[in-house]
Chains A and B, each alone.
Chain A
């Protein structure tokens, strides 16, 4: 048991608030921003895993299809997966860095990701169209 201190009780010598509990509005905003960054990093990973599953489906389709041009789709899918992995890792590193307030708006990551997926979808559409024409 600690002997009673004869110092006056002021906000300065009150015990510190437990970790994780927001003490001030500023701390609360910082914690909320940290959690938002964490959720965003998780969303990137979830999306990258979805991409991986999707693009593997393309590679499998190319391996089993007799229609040869589907190989182009597999090559595009593998290249896209490489780009998506790099984008996800780099954005994740920025979001996990604890330089709070310096996460950027992710413009480069988002542009690269949207461009890559759009290129994959455009290739898939082109090949589906060519297949439909050749089958007709």
Chain B
């Protein structure tokens, strides 16, 4: 077993976890720092979307690490991932919600 690949898998997991941590911080920051939103519901929606996406990414990163690890141990091809489209779509939704909130404020 070549350690370069297991260590790369570990670093990829850590990079996904940093993404989740960024979303977590974003959710808290939106809730704590953004006062001028007149629509509290929209502000909560942005914060909640960040937190839900952070949860999905954190759990998904672990599952992804395990799948890649077992595929490498068996010598199979690497499994496909749905994490990238989930992250892209989630961030797009958050950006749209935040833009609407800013326009309405």
- The answer to whether A36 touches B3 (Cβ under 8 A) is yes
Give the tally of cross-chain contacts (CB within 8 A): 109
Contact bitstring B42-84, A, C-beta under 8 A = 1, else 0: 0010011001101100110110010001000000000000000
Give Cα distance in the complex from A103 to B11, angstroms: 14
> Which residue of B is nearest A114, CB measured?
B62
- The answer to whether B3 touches A33 (Cβ under 8 A) is yes
Interface of A: prevailing SS: helix
Q: List 6 A-B pairs, minimum CB-CB distance, nearest first.
A: A114-B62, A36-B7, A43-B14, A121-B55, A40-B7, A43-B11
Which A residues are closer than 8 A to B by beta carbons?
Answer: 29, 32-33, 36-37, 39-40, 43-44, 46-47, 50-51, 53-54, 57-58, 61, 64-65, 101, 103, 105-107, 110-111, 113-114, 117-118, 120-122, 124-125, 128-129, 131-132, 135
Which B residues are closer than 8 A to A by beta carbons?
Answer: 2-4, 6-11, 13-15, 17-18, 20-22, 24-25, 27-29, 31-32, 40, 44, 47-48, 51-52, 54-55, 58-59, 61-62, 65, 69
